[in-house]
Amino acid sequence: MLYKAVILIGGPQKGTRFRPLSLEFPKPLFPVAGFPIIHHHIEACSKVPDLLEILVIGFYQPSEALNRFLTSSQRESNINIRYLQEYTSLGTAGGLYHFRDQILSGQPDGFFVFNGDLCCKFPLAEMLEFHNQRTNGQHFTLLATEAPKSQSLNYGCLVKDPETHEVLHYVEKPQTFVSSIINCGLYLFTPEIFEHISTVFKENQAEIFNGDSFSSNRDTIRLEQDIFSPLAGTGKLFVYNCEDLMWSQIKSAGSAIYANRLYLGLYHDTHPERLAKNDENGPHIVGDVFIHATARVDATATLGPNVTIGAGVIIGPGVRVRESIILEGASLQDHCCILHSIVGWNSVVGAWSRVEGTPKGPNPNDKFAKMDSDNLFDDHGKLTPSITILGSNVSIPAEVIILNAIILPDKEIRGTFKNQILL
Ligand code: GTP
C-alpha cells in the first residue's frame, strides 16, 4: 500500500494567538524542543514505510526560511517534500481539494492529513493498522483522544459506536456537552474524500451563481464542519481513539512551552541523545534539557527542567533557566534568571535581571486535562497572566524584573516591567 502525507500549515493571518513570535517568523517553523514544530510531523512521517511524499500546504509566501527548512528536511528524511501555496485561505478541506491532483499523483492508496499546529506522539503505524482492519474499502479514519467534559467544548467532539468505532455524530466546538472524545487533527483519508469535498465545493459554487451568497469566504471549505459533520453516521468515518495520547495543540506561546515539555519527555524514548547530560565541564542539568551544539553555556549555569537552548545562544556564569525556550542568538548575561518565558531571537538579558512568567499547564490532577490556549486579553481587556515573551532583538538591562509581560521586537527596556504589553 502506498501513502502520502499532507501537513496543513495555514498562513500569516492564522496563529494570531502566537504573536509577537509569529510576527517575523512563520509559526510552523517555531522551534519546540530544538526543532521547528512541523519537523516533528516530518520525523513521524519518515517512519511510515512506502511514503511517497510529504506535501506541505499553506498560504504563506515561500520564504528563504521555509525553503531552507524544507530542503534540509527532505535531505534528512530522504522523502520528497513539496510546498504548495494556496492563493488565499481555502480552509482545511479547501486546500486539499485545490491540490487534489498533486495529492493523487503517483496513485497513493491513502494519505495522512496533519494539522500543522499539533504536538503529538503521532501513532501513525497504529492508525494504519486500525484503518486497514476495515475491509469495506473507501472509508476515513480520524485520531481522537479524551478530554475533560468542560474542556471538550473547545474542540471537535464526536460520538462513536462502541463496537464498530464508526463516528455517529460530529460537532465542532459545541455550545453544550456532546462527548468527551475530541478530534486530534490527524486523519487518514482514501482518495474518495475528494468526492465528498467536491459535493460541498459544487454547492458553494451553485450558491454563488444563483446569487444567494456574496460571502467573502465562499472559497473556504472546512473539514470539521463541512465534511465530518455530514459524514457522521454514513458508515464512512471511523475513529481511532487513543485515550491517554500525548497530545496538545500549539496555539499560544504558553502552549509552546507545554509542547516543549512534552516533546523533551518523549525524547527519552525516541532520541535520548538529544537530552543534555550532567558532566564535569558542563552546566548543571535538571530534568529534560535540549542544548543546541553551537550554544555556549557557562559551567556554573543551571538549566532545567524543560528548557530548550537554541543555536548560538550564549549563557553566562550563574544563570538559571527553567521551563523556558531561549531562541537562536540570544544572550543571557551573568546571574540572570529566566522562568516560564520565551526569550526571542538575538535578545539580550542583562546581568542579575529576572524574566519571569506565570506557569501554565493542564490540571495535573486530571489525566485527560488539556492545555488551555487563552487569548492574550480577558473579556475586560486585561492582559491574561501568562508566560513572559521577549520578541526578537529585545534588550533588557541589568538588575530589573520583567514579570508576566510581552515585549514586542526591537524594544530596549529601561526598568522593571510587570503585567503589561510593550508595543
Ligand atoms: P481555532 O481553535 O479557531 O484556531 O481552530 P482549530 O484548532 O480548529 O484550527 P484551524 O481549523 O483554524 O486550523 C487547523 C490547522 O489547519 C492549523 O494548523 C492551521 O494552520 C491549518 N489551517 C487552517 N486553515 C487553513 C487554510 O485555509 N489552509 C491551510 N493550508 N491550512 C489551514
Residue 136: CATH number of its domain: 3.90.550.10
Same domain, yes or no: 104 and 208? yes
Q: Which range has the worst mean pLDDT, 18-32, 252-266, 275-289, 385-399? A: 18-32
Which residue out of 115, 223, 372 has the highest number of ligand 1 atoms within 8 Å of its CB and is therefore the one to mutate? 115
The answer to whether residue 143 is domain-embedded is yes
Residue 191 lies in a domain: yes
Do the domain assignments include residue 255? no
Express each pLDDT in 71-122 by its tens digit: 999 999 999 999 999 999 999 999 999 999 999 999 999 999 999 999 999 9
Q: What confidence score (pLDDT) does residue 420 get? A: 87
Q: Which atom of ligand 1 lies nearest, measured to the CA of 116?
A: 18
| pLDDT(164) > 90 | yes
Q: Is the pLDDT of residue 326 over 60?
A: yes
Greater confidence, 24 or 396?
396
Asked if 215 and 150 sit in the same domain, the reply is yes
Q: Please state the rounded mean pLDDT for residues 234-254.
A: 94
CA distance 60 to 46: 24
Q: What average pLDDT does the segment 150-176 reach?
A: 97
pLDDT of residue 211: 66
> Does residue 265 surpass a pLDDT of 60?
yes
Residue 216: is its pLDDT beyond 60?
no
For residue 88, which atom of ligand 1 is closest to its CA? 27
With a 6 Å cutoff on the Cβ, whether 7 touches ligand 1 is: no
* 3-state helix/strand/coil string of the chain: CCEEEEEEEECCCCCHHHCCCCCCCCHHHCEECCEEHHHHHHHHHCCCCCEEEEEEEECCCCCHHHHHHHHHHHHHHCCEEEEEECCCCCHHHHHHHHCHHHHHCCCCCEEEEEECCEEECCCHHHHHHHHHHCCCCCCEEEEEEECCHHHHCCCEEEEECCCCCEEEEEEECCCCCCCCEEEEEEEEECCCHHHHHHHHHHHHHHHHHCCCCCCCCCCCCCHHHHHHHHHCCCCCEEEEECCCCCEEECCCHHHHHHHHHHHHHHHHHHCHHHCCCCCCCCCEECCCEEECCCCEECCCCEECCCEEECCCCEECCCCEEECEEECCCCEECCCCEEECEEECCCCEECCCCEEECCCCCCCCCCCCCCCCCCCCECCCCCECCCCEEECCCCEECCCCEEECCEECCCCECCCCEECCEEC
Q: Ligand 1 center to residue 89 CA distance, Å?
A: 9
Give yes or no for residue 26 CB within 6 A of ligand 1.
Answer: no
Do 241 and 307 share a domain, yes or no?
A: no
Residues 42 and 185 occupy one common structural domain: yes
Q: How much is the pLDDT for 136? A: 67
pLDDT higher than threshold 80 for residue 223: yes
State residue 189's pLDDT score: 98
Q: Is 290 a domain residue?
A: yes
Under the banding of pLDDT at 50, 70 and 90, the label for residue 217 is low
Residue 147 located in a structural domain:
yes
Mean pLDDT of 8-13: 91
**Full domain range(s) for residue 395:** 277-422
One domain, residues 307 and 215:
no
254 within some domain: no
Residue 377 binned pLDDT confidence (cut-offs 50, 70, 90) = confident
Both 153 and 297 in one domain: the answer is no
Ligand 1 neighbour 56 (Cβ under 6 A): no
Is the domain of 283 the same as that of 245? no
Q: Domain with 311 in it: what CATH number?
A: 2.160.10.10
What domain count does the chain have?
Answer: 2
Q: Indicate whether 207 pLDDT > 90.
A: no
Q: Which residue has the higher pLDDT, 272 or 378?
A: 272
> Atom 20 in ligand 1: which residue has the minimum CA distance?
10
Residue 87: what residue type?
A: Y
- Quick one: average pLDDT of 249-257? 93
Rounded distance from Cα 11 to ligand 1 centre (Å): 9
Interval 128-157 mean pLDDT? 92
pLDDT, tens digit, 9 for 90 and up, residues 398-412: 999 999 999 999 999
Residue 262 belongs to a domain: no
75 vs 422 pLDDT, higher one:
75
In a domain, 265, yes or no: no
Cell numbers at 80, concatenated: 520528497
**Residue 32 scores a pLDDT above 80:** yes
Quick one: average pLDDT of 208-230? 80
pLDDT of amino acid 382? 78
Same domain, residue pair 63 and 149? yes
**Once rounded to an integer, what is the mean pLDDT over residues 378-399?**
89
Same domain, 290 and 229: no
Residues 150 and 243 in one domain: yes
Beta strands 80-85 and 156-160 are unpaired
Considering the domain architecture, whether residues 139 and 223 belong to the same structural domain is answered as yes
Kindly give the distance from the C-alpha atom of residue 15 to the centroid of ligand 1, in angstroms, as a whole number: 9
Residues 61 and 184 reside in one and the same domain: yes
Q: Average per-residue pLDDT in the chain?
A: 93
Q: Which residues contact 149 (CB under 8 A, 6 or more apart)?
A: 177, 180
Does residue 285 surpass a pLDDT of 60? yes
Query: Is the CB of residue 264 below 6 angstroms from any atom belonging to ligand 1?
Result: no
Query: What pLDDT was estimated at residue 398?
Result: 97
Per-residue pLDDT for 7 more than 60? yes
**CA-to-CA separations, 62 to 5, 11, 58, 190, 349, in angstroms, rounded:** 20, 11, 10, 29, 33
Q: Give the per-residue pLDDT at 244.
A: 87
Give the percent of the chain with pLDDT over 70: 97
Q: Please give, one letter per residue, the 3-state secondary structure of 112-129.
A: EEEECCEEECCCHHHHHH
- Considering only 21-25, 134-138, 165-169, 224-228, which range has the smallest mean pLDDT? 134-138
